[in-house]
Amino acid sequence: MIKIIEFFKGAIPFEIKRSTSTISVLLALIAIGFLSKIGEWLFEKITLLLKLSLPFIGNFYSWATSITYQISLLAIIFYVLGLVILIFPIYRKIDKFFMQGRNKELIFKDDFSTNQGWQLNYWGTTNPAKTNRFENSTMIFEASEDELQNENKEFGAYYDLKNGIYEGYTYEVCCKVKSDPDTTMKFQLWLHDNVIGNRSSMRTKKVPEELETPSNEFKEIKTNFVATATNGIRIHLHNKGGFGKIYVKEVAVYKVS
């Protein structure tokens, strides 16, 4: 039961979950109602035309309309299908228009109190329990080059964010990072859209452009990313092996336009 509830929570667009969406939802419902009235008018005209040109169709229509419960059931089915097919695209267009210029809105935040689905140690390590782990609500990277299996001696953790990511919107991705004194490991916030099948990503962005050793105090790294047709962002906390440790305290994603 819990899994079913979580599924529906994830399936609901993030815009509907906020308090500022009331106007957009109402306008979307009005638009659906207007379109349904146009559909009824078109259906009546088409039916009348068929009655005049094809008597068989006219007789069938008269028979069908005499069975009330069948027509009611069909009406419910078509109405539900219409809502599913039309309401979310219409809603997002209206929402995008009204939200232009508004303050950025939080859609994802992870303080690492638990693992929300991060894939640790991608590209392989010989000591996974040490090289990438969670401690005290912090993600820690600690890997010497000889512990890494990648030929460039790089590795990290990634998270696929799909809920609330829609093509054409701009998202700001932030993380707070620091390192121990004398650390030689390097870090990079690396974003790309979700892979489709076995195809490589269509769009990628790395901040900073080159791997760098973070400061000894937590500092925020952030960058904007425009979502593509994959409707997802893969967030990489990317590292190069060396001495010392790198700490990531928090990752957050905001919708900015």
CA separation for the pair 253, 15 (Å, rounded):
14
The closest alpha carbon to 202, from 177, 170, 231, 237, belongs to 231
The pLDDT of residue 68 is 47
The distance from CA 17 to its chain's CA centroid, rounded to whole angstroms, is 14
Which one-letter DSSP state was computed for residue 125?
B
Q: What is the pLDDT of residues 76-94, one digit of tens each?
A: 566 666 666 666 666 666 6
What does DSSP assign to residue 18?
Answer: S
**Region 203-231: what's the mean pLDDT?**
93
Q: Which band of pLDDT confidence, cut at 50, 70 and 90, is reported for residue 69?
A: very low
Report, in angstroms and rounded to the nearest whole number, the Rg of the chain calculated over CA atoms. Answer: 26
Ordered by where they begin, the domains of the chain are 2-99 (no CATH), 105-255 (2.60.120.260)
For 78, how many CA atoms within 13 A lie in the half-sphere containing its CB? 11
**Average confidence (pLDDT) over 167-190:** 95
Pick from 199, 219, 216: which is nearest to 207 by CA? Answer: 219
Q: Which three-class secondary structure state does DSSP give residue 249?
A: strand
- Exposed, middle or buried, 207 (CB in 10 Å: 0-12/13-18/19+)? middle
Rounded to two decimals, what is the model's pTM?
A: 0.64
Distance CA 246, CA 62 (A): 75
- C-alpha distances in Å from residue 90, one per residue of 30, 84, 240: 10, 11, 45
| DSSP conformational letter for 85 | I
- Give the distance from CA 10 to its chain's centroid: 9
In sequence order, which ranges of 83-167 are alpha helices (DSSP H)? 88-99, 128-131
Inform me whether the pLDDT recorded for 200 exceeds 50. Answer: yes
Could you report the per-residue pLDDT of 93-124, keeping only the tens digit for each?
A: 666 666 555 567 888 999 999 888 999 999 99
Q: Which two tokens stand for residue 85?
A: 């097919």
